[in-house]
Amino acid sequence: GMENADHELGSAGGRRDSFEYACGDMRDFTGLFSTKFDTAWILLGSMSHLLTNDDVIRCFSSLRSALKPGSTVVVELPHPRETFSMGECTRNGWTVPLVEDDDEEYGELNIVWGDEDDEFDPIAQVRQFTVAMTLKVNNPEDIPKEDPLFMQMNEDGQTEVKEIVPMRLFTLQEIDALARCVGLEMVAKYGALDEEVAMTEEDDAYRMVCVLRCKE
């Protein structure tokens, strides 16, 4: 696994001690790993942070050098419908409970990704995604004052952080063409992380999942 923040590597290593982790840039990680791999996965729309073709080609090239011949790359991105629905923006939200060591919940973290007012540049295919996180505890009197995460909470036990994150929206043919530039070929495509969901399905297809293979 790879992450560009050292503090994230610490928590990841605790959950998956048998994995090898490295801190680096997804555009250029040649030589960071001690072995070559049979497959690589870029999930949760992570490739959308690569805003230019040069960035994507560098990423694919690094992947190509880290994989064995015949290996696969799985890329998960927003469905192309989102690229062409210029007046709309998918709004994703989820809630993560905050749990003590004794499994008792003491609050929650609400995350919202995307807003209907987010600006979209149709030339660069880059949307300025709004990312908002609201942290709330059930009992404000129990706020741990020494923890930096809770220091900015108001008297009601709530704090909010909002940022704008530029993300590129891709089409299927773009992924195919950029992959070919470095010797990858598209061998399958799906509308979800499920082989039973075709990308053309109107009801069930909500992601663009591309399976690329390293040419022998």
pLDDT tens for 50-106 read 999 999 999 999 999 889 999 999 999 999 888 787 445 556 788 989 887 788 888
Torsion angle, alpha carbons of 75, 77, 80, 84, to 10: -140
On whether the CB atoms of residues 126 and 168 are closer than 8 A, the answer is yes
Q: What is the pLDDT of residue 82?
A: 80
Residue-averaged pLDDT of the chain? 84
Q: Please enumerate, as own/partner, the contacts of 158-161 that have beta carbons within 8 Å and a separation of 24 or more.
A: 158/134, 159/134, 159/135, 160/132, 160/133, 160/134, 160/135, 161/132, 161/133
- DSSP character for 145? T
φ, ψ of residue 66 to 5 degrees: the values are: -95, -5
Contact criterion met (CB below 8 Å) for 178 and 53: yes
Tokens coding 64: 């190509």
Looking up tokens 């020494």, which residue turns up?
146
User: Could you report the per-residue pLDDT of 194-210, keeping only the tens digit for each?
Assistant: 999 999 998 899 899 99
Output the pLDDT for position 32: 67
| pLDDT at position 5 over 50 | no
**In 3D, which of 206, 203, 171 has the Cα closest to residue 186?**
171
pTM, rounded to two decimals: 0.77
How many CB atoms neighbour CB 59 within 10 A? 24
Rounded CA-CA distance 23/4 in Å is: 5
95, containing H or E segment: strand 92-99
Distance CA 142, CA 106 (A): 9
Predicted local confidence at residue 168, as pLDDT: 95
pLDDT value at 109 more than 60: yes
What confidence tier does 163 reach under pLDDT thresholds 50, 70, 90? very high
Query: Residue 11: which pLDDT band, with cuts at 50, 70 and 90?
Result: very low
